[in-house]
């Protein structure tokens, strides 16, 4: 049976028809999904805040060292030349999000987006603590200015500002080393105006967002909500209202009514202010507050839970669900291509870089019947530890080498230029001849810690 949903007024729930803001004050809710969300929020907040402090291999777990143009990621060290690998990292995250959305809907928005995590896990809880539950907040907001209202609002915003400042410092610590950050905090802002400006601007944005803008970020700015209709279909898991079971809504005592008693509890708990009974809407961030709210009501009136539930649109209409569908096969194909590309790309990245560079000017010289090529090896240690590098010439081509430094020690991401003089009798010159050197890291096996660098040996007629 095809479900006919009621025609509803077509404007965003938190914006009135005249364009003014309809500030949403969601009511508190308890239930299994709310509990699960708070556990996930606590874990994610711990991860976001602790990552710059946790060290792996002597470096922060995640740290983008802008000053030195280095990136540390869970023990791996990357420099500016490795930036192209970020493509695989970012596209991998994007692709995962697309696949998860196609199968499980907006789980990301409801459970893991930093905006949701901090709004629901921190800021709204503080508001509840200082200003009380929804009914009290609404009453106080509607009343005139009283001392009670003034001190509560002042305290709330003071706490918000302290948290916004703390979060901006945590954010900055992903880009500036902790000792530098501690040092900057102790000195006058005039000595580090750029970092200070960043912290102030970021704190102001965070305060504005979490104190006032809130769900408007999801509704107006975030592109993901708008894209979800392109990523989902009728078999994607969403949060929905079982219209066939719930309608006609009305008093539970009337046996001709469905299970919905029209208590509107699912509406008042919604952080974006929508009525899920009107069907799937772009404003739904998949928080499951309405599921917990309705389950609580169903328990009270002794009806089965799940009038509002996680299900697909087909499932809500009593139709059979498909797991395998063209959209998922297509996304699976793209994910496989991505995986092959990523494995290949990361296999190409080596523990060090060694490139042959020529000096400016004449590429060779002929001295006493001998052709000479003077080059430099640019050597970069891309590991997270100090390493010793050994330079050995490959002699089978007949080229002789003068290498002033055959052993060099480099710090993590340290680099140096090694001068090399390669010589060959002019009689032995032939096209395609190359100078070749083996660069190896002391104490590492040949496969991972050794590579041959080569460059054309140039001379008269080559």
Q: Rule CB under 6 A: which residues touch ligand SF4?
A: 239, 241, 246, 260-266, 269-272, 274, 276-277, 284-290, 293-294, 297, 307-308
| Residue closer to ligand SF4, measured from CB, 261 or 422 | 261
Cα gap 431→412, rounded to integer Å: 39
Judge contact between 140 and 148, C-beta under 8 A: yes
**Residue 198 CB, nearest approach to ligand SF4 (Å):** 32
Nearer to ligand SF4, 70 or 137 (CB): 137
CB atoms closer than 10 angstroms to residue 12: 17
The angle at the Cα of 332, spanning 331 to 334, to the nearest 5 degrees, equals: 65
430 φ/ψ angles, rounded to the nearest 5 degrees? -145, 155
> What phi and psi, each to the nearest 5 degrees, are found at residue 393?
-80, 150
Secondary structure element (H or E) that encloses residue 432, with its range:
none
Based on CB atoms, which residue is closest to ligand SF4, 298 or 410? 298
Q: Which is nearer to ligand SF4, 195 or 289 (CB)?
A: 289
CA gap 146, 405 in Å, rounded: 79
**Closest by alpha carbon to 95, among 347, 343, 332?**
332
Measured from the CB of residue 316, what is the shortest distance to ligand SF4 in angstroms?
Answer: 12
Shortest approach of ligand SF4 to residue 212 CB, angstroms?
19
Residue pointed to by tokens 């000017």: 361
Q: What's the closest the beta carbon of residue 202 comes to ligand SF4, in angstroms?
A: 27
DSSP state, 213?
Answer: I
Q: DSSP letter string over 272-317?
A: T---GGG---TT-----HHHHHHHHHHHHTT--S-SEEEE-HHHHT
CA distance 318 to 416: 69
Q: How far apart are CA 332 and CA 229, in angstroms?
A: 19
């Amino acid at each position: 049976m095809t479900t006919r949903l009621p025609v509803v007024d077509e404007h965003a729930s938190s914006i009135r028809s005249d364009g003014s803001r309809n500030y949403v004050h969601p009511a508190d809710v308890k239930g299994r999904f709310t509990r699960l969300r708070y556990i996930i929020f606590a874990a994610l907040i711990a991860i976001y805040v602790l990552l710059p402090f946790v060290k792996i291999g002597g470096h922060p777990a995640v740290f983008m060292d802008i000053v030195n143009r280095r990136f540390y990621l869970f023990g791996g060290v990357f420099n500016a030349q490795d930036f192209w690998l970020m493509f695989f990292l970012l596209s991998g995250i994007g692709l995962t999000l697309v696949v998860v959305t196609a199968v499980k809907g907006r789980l990301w928005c409801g459970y893991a987006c930093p905006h949701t995590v901090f709004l629901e896990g921190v800021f709204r809880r503080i508001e509840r603590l200082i200003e009380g539950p929804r009914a009290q907040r609404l009453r106080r907001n509607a009343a005139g200015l009283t001392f009670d209202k003034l001190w509560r609002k002042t305290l709330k915003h003071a706490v918000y500002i302290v948290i916004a400042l703390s979060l901006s410092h945590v954010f900055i610590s992903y880009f500036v080393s902790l000792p530098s950050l501690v040092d900057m905090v102790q000195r006058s802002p005039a000595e580090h105006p750029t970092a200070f400006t960043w912290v102030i601007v970021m704190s102001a944005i965070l305060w504005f967002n979490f104190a006032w803008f809130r769900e408007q970020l999801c509704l107006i700015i975030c592109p993901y909500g708008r894209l979800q209709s392109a990523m989902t279909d009728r078999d994607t898991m969403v949060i929905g209202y079982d219209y066939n079971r719930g309608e006609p809504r009305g008093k539970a005592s009337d046996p001709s009514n469905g299970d919905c008693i029209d208590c509107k509890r699912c509406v008042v708990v919604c952080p974006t202010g929508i009525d899920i009974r009107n069907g799937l809407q772009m404003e739904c961030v998949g928080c499951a507050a309405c599921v917990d709210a309705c389950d609580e009501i169903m328990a009270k009136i002794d009806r089965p839970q799940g009038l509002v539930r996680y299900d697909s649109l087909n499932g809500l209409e009593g139709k059979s669900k498909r797991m395998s569908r063209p959209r998922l096969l297509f996304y699976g194909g793209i994910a496989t291509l991505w995986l092959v590309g990523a494995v290949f790309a990361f296999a190409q990245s080596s523990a060090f870089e060694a490139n042959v560079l020529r000096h400016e000017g004449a590429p060779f010289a002929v001295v006493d019947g001998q052709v000479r090529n003077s080059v430099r090896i640019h050597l970069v240690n891309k590991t997270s530890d100090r390493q010793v590098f050994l330079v050995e010439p490959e002699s089978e081509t007949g080229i002789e080498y003068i290498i002033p430094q055959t052993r060099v020690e480099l710090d993590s991401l340290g680099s140096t230029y090694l001068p090399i003089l390669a010589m060959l009798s002019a009689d032995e010159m032939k096209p395609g001849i190359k100078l070749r050197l083996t660069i190896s890291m002391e104490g590492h096996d040949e496969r991972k810690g050794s590579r041959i660098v080569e460059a054309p040996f140039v001379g008269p007629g080559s």
